[in-house]
Amino acid sequence: MKYEKEFPLFKSKIKGVDEKFNLFDLEGRKRYFEAKAGEDIKKLKRYFDDGNTFIAYMLGKKNSGKGTYTKLLMELLGKDRIEHVSVGDMVRSVHSDIKDESRKKELIEYLEKNYRGYISVTEAIDAFLDKSQEKLLPTEFILALVKKEIDKLNKKTLFLDGFPRDLDQVSYSLYFRDLIDYREDNDIFVLIDIPESVIDARMKSRVVCPKCHTPRNLKLFTTKEVGYDKEKSQYYLKCDNPDCNNERMIGKEGDDLGIEPIRKRLELDNKLAEKVFLLHGIPRIFLRNAVPVNMAKTHVDDYEITPEYYYEHDENTNEVMTKEKPWIVKDDEGVEVYSLQAPPVAVSLIKQLVKALGL
């Protein structure tokens, strides 16, 4: 098991906590977190109440759940205290804003005061807009954009998603808190370990409503009603949104290829994680998305395991019945594991944060 000496397998099963919590329900999750990590949540709240914040660098493969775990902490500790900063979302937003001349002017004025780099602001913006293929977009430019985004926020705890994104950016991240004037903050690397088979299945099974664009997953996040296409011999989900009148949900083009189109990115993500594990002087948190099947009974409760949905239909009525079973996959080392739902991984994150912050 990866890094098991430094990071033993987390145990979320607690003796005496016998309630089967509904992790899909807000109230159920509140009771769950109180039972599993109540004291640690109180410590984090006191930490925030005293005016403290920290910066967490979320590192993990694409679709590993970086945003999901951050949102669970926001749900528990308050949106006024935590901010999820996605570098990818920020770049897409700037790409859109820059088409507006007044916003472009504002951006240039900000960059002229805050950007430091080996190419000019004009050249950097041209590279950013892909006008100049000869100029590579410098990391310093991305840092200035991130700083601009963070300047809009009141001082909050930051969960930074998408930085560092390349091997040369790891060194920048070590001094990032100083660059953005969070000088007294703790900074922490959070590494998420998830089997590639989980990401592959998530991508291949995801569907979206063509009307309201609500995402679901045929295998992992089903809807109340499911249909069966006799011609194609396949099941399909019907959108739960009443305004959509049971619209058939469809897969996105290319999703059937799974992780193959992003394999190079996944390989780079692995190299990033390995490099971060060589660092000294900064706390590291390691989150496992899965638990070995032969260790599950002692480490997690049954309802914490991700259910896999499968379907059966009556040939006469074409009525579809939805069934579920624990989802078993093989991790990157070929070991059979259960994929875990997000809340138990978030419990691990909470407990490790408390330790990393010395609370």
Question: Which residues partner with 340 through β-bridges?
Answer: 305
What pLDDT score was predicted for residue 182?
Answer: 63
pTM: 0.87
CA-CA distance, 242 to 334, in Å (whole number)? 43
Euclidean distance between CA atoms 161 and 189, whole angstroms: 11
* Number of neighbouring beta carbons within 10 Å of residue 218: 21
Rounded to 5°, the CA angle 314-326-217 comes to: 65
pLDDT band at 179 (very low <50, low <70, confident <90, very high): low
Q: How many CB atoms lie within 10 A of CB 124?
A: 24
Q: Is pLDDT above 90 for 299?
A: yes
Q: Is 212 helix (H, G, I), strand (E, B) or coil?
A: coil
Residue 3 has pLDDT above 80, yes or no: no
* C-alpha gyration radius of the chain: 22
Q: How far is CA 172 from CA 138, 164, 166, 281, 286, in A?
A: 12, 8, 10, 14, 21
Long-range contacts of 327-332 (CB under 8 A, 24+ apart): 327/219, 327/220, 328/293, 329/195, 329/197, 329/198, 329/201, 329/290, 330/195, 330/197, 331/195, 331/197, 331/290, 332/2, 332/195, 332/196
User: Highest mean pLDDT range out of 114-123, 240-249, 263-272?
Assistant: 240-249
239-259 tens-digit pLDDT: 999 999 999 999 988 888 989
pLDDT tens per residue, range 55-102: 899 988 888 888 899 999 999 999 899 999 888 888 888 888 788 888
Q: Distance between CA atoms of 164 and 139, rounded to whole angstroms?
A: 10
Q: Percent of the chain scored above 90 by pLDDT?
A: 51
Do 197 and 203 meet the contact criterion of CB atoms below 8 Å apart?
A: no
CA distance 266 to 62: 7
Tell me how many degrees the CA angle 259-264-270 measures, rounded to the nearest 5: 95
Residue 136's pLDDT is what? 52
- Residues paired with residue 186 on neighbouring β-strands, in sequence order: 54
Q: Which of the two residues, 345 and 116, has the higher pLDDT score?
A: 345
Which pLDDT does position 1 carry in this prediction?
Answer: 63
Closest listed residue to residue 206, CA positions, set 267, 259, 263, 268: 259
What was the pLDDT predicted at 315? 84
Please calculate the CA angle 2-159-292 and round it to the nearest 5 degrees: 25
Average pLDDT of the chain to the nearest whole number? 88
pLDDT of 131 > 60? The answer is no
